[in-house]
Chains A and B, each alone.
Chain A
Amino acid sequence: MPSSERKQTQKDDARKDSAEQEVNRDVVEEGAALKDDIDSLLDEIDELLEEDSEEFVENYIQRGGE
């Protein structure tokens, strides 16, 4: 391979690497954002959870319908 071409290839590789890093960073950031989102929603679910859950679940008895 002539040296000019090799240089070009190296340049392309470098560009590809940085593009990949960019994509990876996006994925990581997206992942982190999603995790924050999930964490805050789990916090919310924690707050939603009825305090008397043990007793409530035990007492939730329905008559069969239909």
Chain B
Amino acid sequence: MALTKIVGIETEYGIMVRGAADFDPVASSTLVVNSYKDNDLRSIMWDYGQENPLLDARGFQSEPNAPSPDEESNAVINDILTNGGRYYVDHAHPEYCTPECTNARDAVIYDKAGELILDMSSRIAEQTLDGKREIIIYKNNSDGKGHSYGCHENYLVDRSVAFQTLVDGMTPYLVTRQIFTGAGKVGAENGAESCDFQISQRADFFETEVGLSTMVDRPIINTRDEPHADEKQYRRFHVIVGDANMAEMSSYLKIGTAILMLQMIEDGIIGNQFRLRDPVAAIKSISRDLTCKRTIKLSDGSERSPIELQRVYQRLAAQYVEDRKSDNAYYEIDADVVKKWGETLDKLDEDPMQLNKELDWVIKYTWLKAYRARHEIEWRDHRIAMLGLQYHDIRANVGVFYRLQKAGHVRRVVSQEAIIHAISNPPLDTRAYFRGTCLKQFASEIHAASWNSLIFDVEGKSLQKVPMQYPLRGTREMVGDMIKQCKSAADLLAAIEAKPDNSE
């Protein structure tokens, strides 16, 4: 039977400082990340001993391990959050990772909480500047000049499912799902065919079908196999092909449908029903078809539109969710995802522009088009480029998306209260609960953290590592009372030793 899906979203944000002649993206990102004050966790380090991003899902390691940062810079560029997530500097971008979630609703809530964390820390960082400079953070995936930064989804899947089965099952889905997950983009990039506006931010950057790289020669299916969990049981499915979303509906469908697809693959319901003749060409041509009805070629010679392919998956999912209703703790959310997925496909089929309050690319297209008509300007006009960028500005008063949402022109999926709560409270039903709660309660006694361990530094003792190899343990139900009763990390370690199954 399919595993409960553990999901996390990692987002690299674009950064710019207005009014700085000597803008340095690394220094600026460091300033922003460092400005965030979350329960005085500043000195806690990230445990790089657990990281190996070069492990390939196809079963080999491609290059020697990259060196980890030294102790001082480690603490400066890393922030472990009380919501169980991680906030750090990756290359030249601030990056936020949600804590481990079990469902699409939580994933959206924690992803949105990340925007607020970025926004708060940028405003604090700005105060340390001279008052003339402005820090601007964009939740998008491209600078419009051929440089892309990612929004990656991570799903834990059953190790016993062959990687090729995942490739076969997921490729046609990932290539076509942009019709509801795309964040919209003005123009083309990376040498791809020119266009005024396209559905996806990322499509132009994909050059190959399967591979390990995320920075050059990007693959539709990425093979980074780093589960941060018991690797005998779990494999990581690392999706790099998605756009960062502003609209909650796009984000909710992105995660919710991927969870169902992976579970249907694990249960043998989705195999290689469809094989695309040229996935790399298809991802770009679909991105350029705002009707979503132009067909792509399958390797058996037939042709299907992206709506038709998604419709097949949606119908299979509808049946699948009902069939396992009795033993699915996430039935309510799964059923809601299937319903919204179906409604979205119906509307895309009738007229995609009906979704101008739901889907990122349609919202953006609608308003840029209206602006263009009002001023009688070309798609290539710098004002359109600016608004295309400003759609992703995370500031509530300046960002175009947020102004539209405030004016009631965007349909929401989750509540603002839930997002605010998620800034500093972990999900209850994964090991993120243990991590976040320990960080809140015993911050001064934690030396380092990683996805699958916490290292405690209790006075008079050597460092003690608590492994967390199982993402569905360490939940509130399992360890909530135990942590509450402990006055110190020493108490907690003693309690864990007496009852080792609870957190590990």
Interface residues of A (CB under 8 A from B): 37-38, 41-42, 44-46, 48-50, 52-54, 56-66
Contact = CB atoms under 8 A, between A and B. Distances in A.
17 contacts: A44-B407, A45-B371, A48-B398, A49-B383, A57-B382, A60-B144, A62-B14, A64-B147, A65-B91, A65-B92, A65-B93, A65-B148, A66-B90, A66-B148, A66-B150, A66-B214, A66-B240
Interface in B364-419: 367, 370-371, 374, 382-383, 385-387, 389-390, 398, 400, 403-404, 407, 409
B351 interface: no
CB-CB nearest 4 A-B residue pairs: A65-B149, A53-B386, A66-B214, A63-B92
B315 interface: no
Contacts of B400: 45, 48
A54 B382 contact: yes
B132 to A, nearest CB: 13
A9 to B, nearest CB: 36
A49 B386 contact: yes
Given A57-B385, A66-B240, 19 more contacts: A41-B404, A44-B403, A45-B403, A46-B371, A48-B400, A49-B383, A53-B383, A53-B385, A57-B386, A60-B16, A60-B144, A60-B145, A60-B389, A61-B145, A62-B93, A65-B149, A65-B215, A66-B91, A66-B215
A63 to B, nearest CB: 4
Contact of A66 (B152, B387, B404, B409): B152
Nearest to B18: A56
A37 B367 CA distance: 12
B322 interface: no
Contacts of A54: 382
B193 interface: no
Instruction: Please tell me the size bucket of the interface on B.
Output: 35 or more
A48 to B, nearest CB: 6
A49 B215 CA distance: 32
Contacts of B12: 65-66
A42 B371 contact: yes
B386 A41 contact: no
A37 to B, nearest CB: 8
Nearest to B385: A57
A53 B382 contact: yes
Interface string B87-102: 0001111010000000
Contacts of A52: 18
